[in-house]
Structure 1
Amino acid sequence: MTDPHAAPISTACPACATPANEPFIALTGLPVHGTAVFDTPEAARRVTVGDQELCLCPACGVVFNRAFDPALLDYTGSHEESQHNSPRFAAYAAELSADWTARYRLTGTHVVEIGCGAGDFAVEMLRAGVGGVTGIDPHFAADRVPADLTGRLTALPSEFDARQIEPGTSAVVCRHTLEHIPALRSFGDEIVTGMRKAAVPAFLAEVPDLGRILAEGAFWDLQYEHCSYFTPETVTGYLRGIGFGEVAARTTYDDQYVVAEATAPDAGPDGSAAVPAGTLSDLDGACRAFADTVRDGVRSWGAWMGERSAAGDPVAVWGGGAKGLTFLAMLGADAAPVRAVVDINPGLQGRYIAGPGLPIVAPADLTRTPPRSVVLMNPIYRGEVRADLDRLGLQSTELLAL
């Protein structure tokens, strides 16, 4: 049985056990849950916080948080992580599920999804033609399975175990889960063990792209729950190192995500977790520059907020998930002109965001006290957000995308 939140964390790389470099950046006081929702501002302000001390492994290039403490995490409260209320994101998920179903001949077959969250992507795969999906996630309960898919979507509300991959499974899917795993090596070994025993031919994964985060200084994309970060090259090395065969990795979703596709595990790990020296050198340089870029970004946004405050211009942040949470946490008191956080997810509306305890409102609520500016957490949604603002009669509201 693998419990991804139980393994002790040290300064050794969680993927290959190589002693890591010193942290290239340290962020303090981050709310530990990017998906937690709170019913009162007081509860939101009492949120547990933790630190990120990000280290680069000099051998395999995986970046990890050496200060990660799994004991700080508590998933017993309310959590809401679905992004499928966005037409842009829903279209992407449908496109990816259709692509995997077609290229890996999953129509009518059985698939296991590790870390399925609320089951949104499992539903997409079924709609794309997959015969049945077993979704494994401690927080995925049977009552979240759509009524029309009962019998085709099985919920296993538990930690992942190799025995949950049954013979006849045509693919194992693992989207936006590896970055949450502190014990990467043992977790990967468990996946490989289960796939070997069940003779599963394909492993299909997706993680955030560290390369874009570093290049853009996107500090708002750093989350405490994300204890490991990958690029296409390093996730390839990780998967090869735990024993997978051929691995292909590419960036998707405006280079925000890395999709990795691996063939059946070989007879054993081939030791190829290391990435080329040139790639490691480039990654090391990007990590070293990142701290300065983040410092400048936080300072710049703090100055902009100060100007809004001096002018009496109210500001709203669009994005009540983890990005908005980290953005506000990093700005701290400088975010004083932000009066509300906007999100189209009904599960977040009427709640309060962790840290500052700001209300999370629906787009229509902005018409009551129109903001002078809206800061959009993800530029990929610029078109749909601008359309929403215009539809609400807020044509004069400035839209700024990170």
Structure 2
Amino acid sequence: MSQRKLFSVQGLPVFQNKMFADSGAALACPKGELCLVQDDNTGLIFNAAFDASLLHYDADYQNEQACSSLFRQHLDTVKAIIHRHFADKNLLEVGCGKGYFLEYLQQAGYHITGIDPAYQGDNPNIIKACFTADSGLAADALILRHVLEHIENPIEFLSTLAQANGGKGQIYIEVPCFDWIIEHRAWFDIFYEHVNYFRLADFQRLFGKVYESGHVFGGQYLYVVADLASLQIPVCTAQDRVTFPNDFLVDIDRLAVLAKTKRNAIWGGASKGVIFALYMQQAGVTIDWVIDINTAKQHKFIAGSGLKVSTPDEAITQLQQDAIIFVMNSNYLPEIIAATHNQFTYLQVDHREF
């Protein structure tokens, strides 16, 4: 298989959403190598150094974002897409996480089943397991939200889904947008546990029949509604070749200089914040606080840097008014300003405003 190298980095935590009970365990977390390549035949982008045996999803994996009202607005957008295409259909959500979106659809009247190995709860319609061809699950339409980026051999996995579903049905897929990552020089959005990095054009080559596609959540995510029966091996053309920017990491030094001038905090102890904290530490920066509104993360420690996650109130009472808050996801800026009474300097890292 012919591949073209795009980007590489050593020593990334294999999980950026697994929480730890103490700093020592967080510092000693398993780490892996990332070597991002583009396959010359399919055009798909993935980590060629990925080792799936390093990953084990359990109850310590905390990636629920629905504690934010702004993220729930995003889920409203997704629900509207689901309704346009999947109304009155039996649904299956593969990789339903903690089940929030599934239960949201249940409350809206949908008949839906879910499956996820990290599920915590007692919903009888959710199976705590990994999806396999032998799971015995099928539906009129499938939902795959922020799952495919974690799956080694995504074409094979989609083929398994299609076969298990009788070679028919529709599918809604949502993943991070690699074009957005490149455009925003979002080095903090490259993770080990994301083995795949997709562009909208990839899905337009993967499926012969696409009913709807686009971008959501401020362009950070892309989605596609497609016919499972039209799944095909994508063929890469010259226009599908990625031009990876030489200055992808250029902002790290600038951010490090800023962070050293004042007391600071990272708002967002999840994926982006975990990688941001790690790179800042490597640049000699002391991060004073990591803030997150997710109670499952609070008073626990993030991978790689070993920093403790605090509640907003804990950090606000300690930060000086001229402190810098690094906003890891600008979608949440209005929420953050309201929670902190607009008394700090807010730097939108993903908008490169610094």
Using structure 1 for the length normalisation, give the TM-score. Answer: 0.81
Structure possessing the higher radius of gyration over alpha carbons: 1
Q: Is the 8 A contact 1:298 1:331 kept in 2?
A: yes
Structure 2 equivalent of residue 20 of structure 1: 3
Q: 1:262 aligns with which of 217, 220, 226?
A: 226
The count of corresponding residues between Structure 1 and Structure 2 is 347
Q: Is the 8 A contact 2:180 2:219 kept in 1?
A: yes
Structure 1 equivalent of residue 344 of structure 2: 397
Q: 1:195 aligns with which of 152, 165, 173?
A: 165
CA distance 1:144–1:355, shift in 2 (3 Å): farther
Deviation at 1:165, TM superposition (A): 5.6
Deviation at 1:276, TM superposition (A): 4.3
Distance 2:331 2:232 in 1: 38
Unaligned runs of 5+ in 2: 350-354
CA distance 1:270–1:361, shift in 2 (3 Å): closer
Give the 3-state SS of the residue equivalent to 2:171 in structure 1. strand
Distance 2:232 2:228 in 1: 14
1:100 aligns to 2:72 (yes or no) = no
Give the 3-state SS of the residue equivalent to 1:35 in structure 2. coil
Aligned residue type for 2:117: P
Aligned residue type for 2:178: L
Aligned residue type for 2:318: T
RMSD: 1.9
Deviation at 1:334, TM superposition (A): 2.9
Distance 1:144 1:165 in 2: 20
**Mean CA deviation greater in 170-179 or 367-376:** 367-376
CA distance 1:41–1:337, shift in 2 (3 Å): same
**Mean CA deviation greater in 69-78 or 318-327:** 69-78
Q: Is the 8 A contact 1:305 1:334 kept in 2?
A: no
CA distance 1:105–1:53, shift in 2 (3 Å): closer
1:367 aligns to 2:316 (yes or no) = yes
Q: Is the 8 A contact 1:106 1:129 kept in 2?
A: no
1:304 aligns to 2:272 (yes or no) = no
Give the 3-state SS of the residue equivalent to 1:323 in structure 2. helix
Deviation at 1:59, TM superposition (A): 2.9
Give the 3-state SS of the residue equivalent to 2:229 in structure 1. coil
Percent identity for Structure 1 against Structure 2: 24
1:39 aligns to 2:59 (yes or no) = no
Q: Is the 8 A contact 1:344 1:362 kept in 2?
A: yes
Q: 1:53 aligns with which of 35, 43, 55?
A: 35
Q: 2:281 aligns with which of 332, 335, 345?
A: 332
Q: 1:176 aligns with which of 138, 146, 166?
A: 146
Unaligned runs of 5+ in 1: 1-11, 13-18, 146-150
CA distance 1:178–1:162, shift in 2 (3 Å): same
CA distance 1:253–1:50, shift in 2 (3 Å): same
Q: Is the 8 A contact 1:119 1:144 kept in 2?
A: no
Deviation at 1:249, TM superposition (A): 2.3
Distance 2:218 2:173 in 1: 17
Deviation at 1:66, TM superposition (A): 0.7
Q: Is the 8 A contact 2:289 2:309 kept in 1?
A: yes
Q: Is the 8 A contact 1:233 1:275 kept in 2?
A: no
CA distance 1:335–1:119, shift in 2 (3 Å): farther
